[in-house]
Structure 1
């Protein structure tokens, strides 16, 4: 199959300044991400950034990079601009890998791309894994997804979904014994034509309520296929503690 991996990378980060350029074993983090996903067999892996320092660092290490506007409201808007710049066709497939995921599993990236190729009924593909604790289920920072019988997303939420009526006590959601709730993994494959339309759509009311941009696609009637993996992926880098953890992994390799 043919697909492109795009890695959006912004310099702004309140918790970890200059995050894309953070050193991990002698290379900037965004370069580590690009090198890792190069293993998936994509036609091209390109970093889409709003800062010349990021673009220069990528090119210095042989990673293609293109400049995008600095005023995009979402990662999807940035990717849509990148698709135009790369002259990608509407039926082409693009996989969005975040620039702060240096430990991402290349097989998971490939699985999302493969799933969208196999699902002509869907415009977007993403991933999820079973939630293992009630604590995760009740954490609003953990995004949940529920599926239909064809493994398409019915809804994404920060709330505890599905709500197990007979097993929940005192308003605290528990885990159904025969149907684990699913945690959404922020990895997406898109059909380029749909991604290009994303910036032309107004923000959806549910998107604004949940602060989840993927709900805009569903609000517009686009279907989202979901690949369910048994294991949780390695966590990304959001804090100095996360960065120390990832550096230790690379140092031990």
Structure 2
């Protein structure tokens, strides 16, 4: 509906809705050429960025489910997540030690983007169903071994539909902050609150989050009007 409006902004990078849609369509076709389809798990091992949003959409449009891996995650936990979930593919911007990767197949983000540019940018006509997995996020493991929790598309859609009725997002006007780590489910609530509402998604850098007062100042500067924050930030 708003192809020329900004969709996602981070650290000097930005994509319009048209650019984000077309580039994620190309990525989806590349992933399908690699055998990714309905409920194939694809691990995303990369920092939060404009590119990360692009890859999330590419995986979902291909029919797959994402397994987010925060770059700061300890190696032993990553090893367990990959062995337990057995992803069809790992997309990464970071060096992957073989001891951690195990039998999982890895493709760099650069290679995926390079190969996807040859793919059609038109919309795909098939992908996931509402009952298919959207993402797999692992528990903290505080009670034992971390366990993967699979969330379906309809679960997030139900949440966002309720949220839109309670806190309307204005297409082309609202600015939504993306604050949460990608391994925390609120990350995807933030992401799709913006994208399904036609708003701008502004991704906060990890360095900004460590300086609460400066962070709040940057939120004011951005003009973000929808934010999901830990209560500790309210005092600032």
Query: Could you say which structure has the higher helix fraction?
Result: 2
TM-score range, shorter chain: 0.3 to 0.5
TM-score, normalised to structure 1, is 0.32
Greater C-alpha Rg: 1
